[in-house]
C-alpha cells in the first residue's frame, strides 16, 4: 500500500461515512433487492436449499437439515437458518428466499467499501464497492439461493478484517483480527472446512512471501481460533449426537472425497475458473491487467507499505488454484476471489482519477465488448432461437441491447475526454442494464419450474390427499404447495447403482438409509401404486412427460395439466370426489 495513494479519497479521509457513501449503499441495496422476486425457483439448487429451510421452519428442527423429510447433511446449517428466518418473517416465496443472498451480496459490497476506505481512501473504497456490485458474477450470486455467495461473503470479511487489522495498532488491531476469526467461524458454519482453509491458506502464503514472521506473534492465534471454534463447533456436536453419520459424511465424503475423487458432476479442465473470472468480471476485466500491475509495482517498490497489495494479489490466486485441483468444478465456488479483484480495480480507478491518467486502451476494449454483447442481446430475440421467449421478454431484450450500445458510447466518450469518472458510471450502468434485460428473459428460458402445475393443484388439495413424484423428485414442488407432509417419491430405491452416482436419487437415498422412517414416503413404484390404488384414496402425481406412460401403466391416472416438461396426473378418486 502506497501512503500517497491512501490519500486519494474524495476528501482524503477515512472518517465516518459521508452522505455520498450512505447514498451509494442505499442505491446498491435497492438495486440488489428489486430483482429478487423476478423469476420462479431454479431447480435443482434453489429448490433444494430453500426447501431445506422451509422444512426447518415447518418442523422447528434447527439441528438436522432435511430434504423431503429425511436428513440432508451436505452442508452446515447457517445459510438454512438465515433462510428460515426470512421465511418466518415474510412467508415462503422465491423473493423471501433470495432476500438472504441479496442482503449478503450488499454486505459484501459494504465490507469492500469499508475496508477499501481504510486501506486506500474513501474514493477507492466507493469505486471498489461499485465495481463489486456491478460485477455480473457477484450480482448473479446474490440472486441465487445457495451457499456459494454466503461463504464468499464470510471469507471476504475474514480476510478484509485481517488486512485492516494488519494496519492498525493497539486495541484496534485485536478487534479487527478477532472479527476476522469470527467471520471464519461463520464461514465454517456455512460451508465447512473451506471457511478455514481459504483464508488461512491466503494468510499463510502472504506471511511466507513477505517474511513478516512477527505477524504470527500478533495474530492472536489461540484466542482467535477459540472464537472460530466457539461459533462453529456447538452445532457439529449437537448434530452428531442426533445423526451419528454426520461428521464422516460432512468432512470425509463431502470435503475430502469430493476434492480428490472423480465420481462427481461438472468435471472440467484446469482453465475453467480463469475463464469464469474473465467472463464474470465483465466489463471490469479490461481494467484488471492495469489494476494487477499497479498492485505489483506497489509491492515491489516498498515491501512494507505494499504488503496489503500483495495480500490482494495472493488471495484470488489461492482461491483459483485450490478449486482448480479437483475435477468437479462449479461456477459459484470461485466467488471468494471476486471481492479482492474488485478492490484492486477500485484502487486502480481512484489512482487514475488522482493522476488524471488515461485509460484509453482498457476503455476501448470495454466499449467493444459492450457492443458485441449488445448485438447478441438484440440478435437473440430477432433470430427466434430462444425457445418460448415471450413478446415482453423480447422487447426487454431489445431495449437492453439498445441501452448497452448507449453505455458503450458513453465509455467511448469517456475515453476521448480522459474521464475515468464518466467511465465508471458507464461501466456500472452496463451491468445494471444487462441484468435488467436478462431477468425478464429468464422465466421464458427456464423450462423446469413446477409453479404452473402447483397453481393448478393447490385449489384441488384436501386434508389427507397424497402428492407424489414419479421417477423424479421435483425440488420446487414442496415450496409451491407448502404442505406439512413430505412428498411421496416413487423410484427403484433398491437400485445398487444409486450410491455411485451424484444425482437427486443419491441425495434422498442417503437420508432414507440414515433414517429408516423415510421408507414410508420414499417408496418403490409398486408401493406407490398400492397406495394410490387404495379404496377412496385421492392421489396426485407429478411426472416428467416422458415418464407419464410408465406411471399410467402402473396405476389408473388421468392427465390434468402439463407445463415445462412436467405432467400433473390424478387418480379417479381425486377426479370424482
- Long-range contact pairs involving 549-558 (C-beta distance under 8 Å, separation at least 24): 550/470, 550/471, 551/470, 551/471, 554/525, 554/526, 554/528, 554/529, 555/528, 555/529, 557/532
Look-up: residue for cell 471476486? Answer: 338
Strands (E), 444-554: 466-470, 488-490, 522-523, 539-544
pLDDT digits (tens, 9 = 90+) for 244-303: 999 988 888 877 777 666 555 667 778 889 989 988 888 888 889 889 999 999 998 887
For 89-122, letters b (16+ CB in 10 Å) and e give eeebbbbbbbbbbbbbbbbbbbbbbbbbbbbbbb
Task: Give the separation between CA 384 and CA 156, rounded to whole angstroms.
Answer: 42
C-alpha cell at 300: 515491489
Rg (CA), the chain: 26
Task: Give the separation between CA 97 and CA 120, rounded to whole angstroms.
Answer: 35
The reported pLDDT for the residue numbered 194 is: 93
Residue 169, C-beta contacts closer than 8 angstroms, at least 6 positions apart: none
How buried is residue 304: exposed, middle or buried, by Cβ count under 10 Å (0-12/13-18/19+)? exposed
The reported pLDDT for the residue numbered 9 is: 39
- Long-range contact pairs involving 84-88 (C-beta distance under 8 Å, separation at least 24): 84/53, 84/54, 84/56, 84/57, 86/53, 87/53, 87/54, 87/57, 88/57
The reported pLDDT for the residue numbered 62 is: 96
Q: What would you measure as the largest C-alpha separation in the chain, in angstroms? A: 83
The reported pLDDT for the residue numbered 530 is: 86
The reported pLDDT for the residue numbered 16 is: 62
Q: How many CB atoms within 10 Å of residue 255?
A: 16
The reported pLDDT for the residue numbered 10 is: 41
Residue 96, C-beta contacts closer than 8 angstroms, at least 6 positions apart: 86, 87, 89, 90
Q: How many CB atoms within 10 Å of residue 169?
A: 8
The reported pLDDT for the residue numbered 5 is: 42
Per the document, the length of the chain is 577
The reported pLDDT for the residue numbered 447 is: 59
Residue 374, C-beta contacts closer than 8 angstroms, at least 6 positions apart: 401, 402, 404, 405, 408
* 3-class SS letters over 84-137: HHHHHHHCCCHHHHHHHHHHHHHHHHHHHHHHHHHHHCHHHHHHHHHHHHCCHH
Segments of the chain scoring below 70 in pLDDT: 1-17, 259-266, 356-361, 369, 373-399, 414-423, 435-447, 534-536, 577
Do 198 and 336 form a contact (C-beta atoms < 8 A)?
A: yes
Amino acid at each position: 500500500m502506497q501512503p500517497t495513494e491512501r490519500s486519494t479519497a474524495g476528501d482524503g479521509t477515512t472518517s465516518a461515512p459521508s452522505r455520498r457513501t450512505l447514498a451509494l449503499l442505499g442505491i446498491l441495496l435497492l438495486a440488489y433487492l428489486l430483482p429478487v422476486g423476478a423469476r420462479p425457483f431454479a431447480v435443482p439448487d434453489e429448490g433444494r436449499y430453500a426447501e431445506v429451510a422451509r422444512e426447518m421452519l415447518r418442523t422447528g428442527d434447527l439441528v438436522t437439515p432435511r430434504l423431503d423429510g429425511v436428513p440432508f447433511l451436505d452442508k452446515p446449517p447457517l445459510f438454512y437458518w438465515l433462510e428460515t428466518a426470512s421465511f418466518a418473517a415474510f412467508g415462503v416465496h422465491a423473493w423471501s428466499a433470495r432476500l438472504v443472498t441479496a442482503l449478503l451480496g450488499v454486505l459484501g459490497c459494504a465490507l469492500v467499501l469499508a475496508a477499501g476506505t481504510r486501506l486506500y481512501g474513501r474514493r477507492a473504497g466507493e469505486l471498489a464497492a461499485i465495481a463489486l456490485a456491478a460485477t455480473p458474477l457477484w450480482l448473479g450470486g446474490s440472486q441465487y439461493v445457495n451457499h456459494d455467495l454466503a461463504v464468499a461473503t464470510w471469507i471476504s470479511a475474514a480476510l478484509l478484517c485481517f488486512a485492516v487489522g494488519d494496519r492498525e495498532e493497539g486495541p484496534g488491531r485485536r478487534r479487527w483480527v478477532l472479527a476476522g476469526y469470527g467471520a471464519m467461524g461463520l464461514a465454517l458454519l456455512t460451508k465447512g472446512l473451506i471457511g478455514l482453509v481459504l483464508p488461512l491458506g491466503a494468510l499463510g502464503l502472504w506471511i511466507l512471501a513477505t517474511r513478516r514472521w512477527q505477524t504470527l506473534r500478533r495474530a492472536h492465534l489461540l484466542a482467535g481460533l477459540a472464537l472460530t471454534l466457539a461459533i462453529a463447533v456447538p452445532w457439529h456436536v449437537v448434530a452428531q449426537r442426533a445423526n451419528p453419520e454426520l461428521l464422516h459424511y460432512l468432512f470425509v465424503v463431502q470435503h475430502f472425497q469430493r476434492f480428490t475423487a472423480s465420481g462427481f458432476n461438472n468435471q472440467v479442465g484446469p482453465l475453467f475458473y480463469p475463464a469464469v473470472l474473465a467472463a464474470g468480471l465483465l466489463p471490469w476485466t479490461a481494467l484488471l491487467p492495469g489494476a494487477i500491475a499497479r498492485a505489483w509495482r506497489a509491492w515491489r517498490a516498498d515491501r512494507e507499505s505494499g504488503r496489503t497489495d500483495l495480500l490482494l494479489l495472493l488471495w484470488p490466486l489461492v482461491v483459483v488454484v485450490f478449486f482448480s485441483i479437483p475435477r468437479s468444478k462449479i461456477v459459484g465456488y470461485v466467488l471468494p476471489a471476486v471481492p479482492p479483484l474488485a478492490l484492486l480495480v477500485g484502487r486502480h480507478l481512484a489512482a487514475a482519477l488522482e493522476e488524471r491518467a488515461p485509460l484509453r486502451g482498457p476503455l476501448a476494449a470495454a466499449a467493444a465488448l459492450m457492443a458485441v454483447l449488445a448485438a447478441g442481446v438484440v440478435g437473440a430475440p430477432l433470430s427466434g432461437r430462444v425457445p418460448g421467449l415471450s413478446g415482453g421478454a423480447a422487447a426487454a431484450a431489445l431495449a437492453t441491447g439498445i441501452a448497452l450500445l448507449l453505455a458503450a458510447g458513453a465509455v467511448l466518450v469517456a475515453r476521448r475526454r480522459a474521464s475515468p469518472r464518466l467511465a465508471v458510471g458507464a461501466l456500472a450502468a452496463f451491468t445494471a442494464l444487462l441484468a435488467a434485460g436478462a431477468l425478464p428473459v429468464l422465466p421464458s428460458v427456464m423450462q423446469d419450474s413446477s409453479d404452473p402445475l402447483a397453481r393448478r393443484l393447490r385449489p384441488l388439495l384436501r386434508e389427507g390427499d397424497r402428492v407424489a413424484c414419479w421417477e423424479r423428485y421435483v425440488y420446487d414442488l414442496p415450496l409451491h404447495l407448502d404442505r406439512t407432509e413430505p412428498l411421496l417419491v416413487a423410484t427403484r430405491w433398491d437400485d445398487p447403482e444409486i450410491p455411485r452416482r451424484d444425482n437427486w436419487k443419491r441425495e434422498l437415498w442417503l437420508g432414507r438409509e440414515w433414517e429408516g422412517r423415510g421408507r414410508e414416503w420414499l417408496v418403490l413404484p409398486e408401493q406407490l401404486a398400492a397406495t394410490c390404488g387404495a379404496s377412496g384414496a385421492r392421489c396426485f402425481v407429478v411426472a416428467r412427460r416422458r415418464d407419464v406412460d410408465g406411471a399410467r401403466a402402473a396405476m389408473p391416472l388421468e392427465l390434468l395439466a402439463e407445463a415445462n416438461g412436467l405432467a400433473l396426473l390424478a387418480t379417479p378418486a381425486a377426479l370424482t370426489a
